[in-house]
Amino acid sequence: MIRIKNMKQLYLDGLFYKGSGIGRYYESLTKEFAKRGIKIYTCIPKKLRGDFEKDFREVAGDIEPIFVDYERFSLNSIFKQSNILKQLEDKVDLFFYPHINLPLYVPRKTIVTVHDLIPFTQYWDRDEFKRKVFKIFLRRALGCSVKIVVISQTVANELKTLDKRIENKAVVIYEFIDDRFVNSKLVIKRLLDQPYVLFVGNRKRHKNIGLLIKAFNKIKDQIPHYLVIAGAKDNEVDEVDKLKKELNIKWRIIEFIRPDDETLINLYLYADLFIFPSLFEGFGLPPLEAVNLNCPVILSDIPILREIFDNTGLYFNPNDENDLAKAILKVLSNNDLRTELLKQQKERVKLFDKEAIVNRYLRLFEEIIKER
């Protein structure tokens, strides 16, 4: 574990704490930086104070939370946070945002993070106004920051086509597997007695869960497995609910809505296969978590998943339910293939070692401080 020499204090924005992927990213980085002796200031919505104090109790001495009366995306966050940053500017060495939602006032020593560019794609399932707001925030963040952390080369390539300013600013630093998904000793007894295949993720359109359900429906009579879908649900009735009824397959699908980490770990540990059918991703941690907990994965054939798994992946066409159905059967019907697939994928997962990735952040911080 290395420690940064010239950096003593960091502002790490926490408005996305408990907010799906970015929230987990924030939590993991905050803990790792604090463990390395960096004093961290962070703004957290007041309503999350109890969760924060529980989650960060082991490193509480190195973190100074500022509990605020506003949340992300609010007008107050744009204006009120500016005052806080001005007060901190002489105290901290760097301001790190694990997202692109900057306030009105942006200190000179600011780093932002770009996770994906889904609002620029056909898979954006929110209204056009929010797409325009994202574009404004993105372009402003790119211009105001001294460096831009991008979580994959695929996203970096996409970003360069939108804005040439990032040529000398973008730094690719992959995400890492959180310790919670490394220590499988947390779980003893399996939650489900039935054999099953697993999907983990939210139920947004780009996750392509509809294709997975249709593919599973084609082969359900050839396998004893159930389909487990674990993740957040935005609407009371969504595509999953409609397809369960339309295909009369409700009895073969098991859902876990917003499962906690202990439940996810259990599901990963005892699944026979993890399936990731996404049409678009900025990175994609669930397949890495699955492999790390001894569950082989099959993946949609999109650039980012090729980047992460390279030739250790077993890929299928994310627009062809028949191709996905064949891939599922291929792995479940061949134990030797399943064993070899997992063996190769576990080797690949080593590239996303936490220590190496956190050290990359620390070297970046050191470089910026020296330059300044």
pLDDT at 185 over 70: no
Question: Residue 5's pLDDT band (boundaries 50, 70, 90)?
Answer: low
Share of the chain above pLDDT 90, in %: 69
Cα–Cα distance for residue pair 139/315, rounded to 1 Å:
34
Whether 124 shows a pLDDT value over 90: the answer reads no
pLDDT of 249 reads 94
Q: Give CA–CA dist 70/68, Å, rounded.
A: 6
Q: How confident is the model at residue 94 (pLDDT cuts 50, 70, 90)?
A: very high
The residues pairing with 110 across neighbouring beta strands, listed in sequence order, are 95
- For residue 178, what pLDDT is reported? 84
pTM, whole model, 2 decimals?
Answer: 0.90
Q: Are 34 and 57 in contact (CB under 8 A)?
A: no
Region 36-64 average pLDDT:
91
Nearest partner of 331 among 356, 371, 299, 285, judged by Cα: 299
Question: What pLDDT is attached to residue 149?
Answer: 96
Is residue 117 within 8 Å of 159, Cβ to Cβ?
Answer: yes
Residues sharing a CB contact under 8 Å with residue 327, sequence separation 6 or more, in sequence order = 298, 314, 315, 316
pLDDT above 60 for 139: yes
Binning pLDDT at 50, 70 and 90, where does residue 233 land?
Answer: confident
pLDDT of 7 strictly over 80: no
Could you tell me if 212 and 231 are in contact, meaning their C-beta atoms sit under 8 angstroms apart?
no
Residue 186 has pLDDT above 60, yes or no: no
What is the per-residue pLDDT for 179? 82
Residue 68's pLDDT band (boundaries 50, 70, 90)?
very high
Residue pair 142/148 in contact (Cβ under 8 Å)? The answer is: yes
DSSP 184-251: GGG--S-S-SS-EEEEES---GGG-HHHHHHHHHHHGGG--PEEEEEE---SSS-HHHHHHHHTT-GG
Q: 3-class DSSP state for residue 137?
A: helix
Average pLDDT over every residue of 110-124: 88
Q: Is residue 184 within 8 Å of residue 213, measured between CB atoms?
A: no
At 184, the pLDDT band (50, 70, 90 cuts) reads: low
Chain mean pLDDT for the chain: 90
Q: What is the pLDDT of residue 62?
A: 87
| pLDDT recorded at residue 157 | 92
Comparison of pLDDT for 1 and 76, the residue scoring more: 76
CB crowding 120-153: b at 16 or more within 10 Å, else e: beeebeeeeeeeeebeebbeebbebbbbbbbbbe
Instruction: Of 134, 70, 81, 71, give the one whose Cα is nearest residue 110.
Output: 81
Instruction: Name the band, by pLDDT with cuts 50, 70 and 90, for residue 84.
Output: very high
Q: What is the pLDDT of residue 92?
A: 92
Other CB atoms closer than 10 Å to residue 37's CB: what's the count? Answer: 12
The reported pLDDT for the residue numbered 133 is 84
pLDDT score of 182: 79
For 298-342, the pLDDT digits (tens) are 999 999 999 999 999 999 999 999 999 999 999 999 999 999 999
What domains, with CATH codes, occur in the chain?
Answer: 9-176+353-371 (3.40.50.2000), 179-352 (3.40.50.2000)
pLDDT for the residue 236: 85
- pLDDT for 77: 79
Q: What is the pLDDT of residue 215?
A: 97
In this structure, what is the dihedral angle of CA atoms 307, 310, 316, 319, given to the nearest 10 degrees? 20
When pLDDT is averaged across residues 124-128 and rounded to a whole number, the result is 76
Q: Is the pLDDT of residue 296 over 70?
A: yes
Please tell me the predicted confidence (pLDDT) of residue 194.
95
Q: Which tens digit of pLDDT belongs to each residue from 240-279? A: 999 999 999 999 999 999 998 889 999 999 999 999 999 9
Q: Rounded to an integer, what is the distance from CA 82 to the centroid of its chain? A: 27
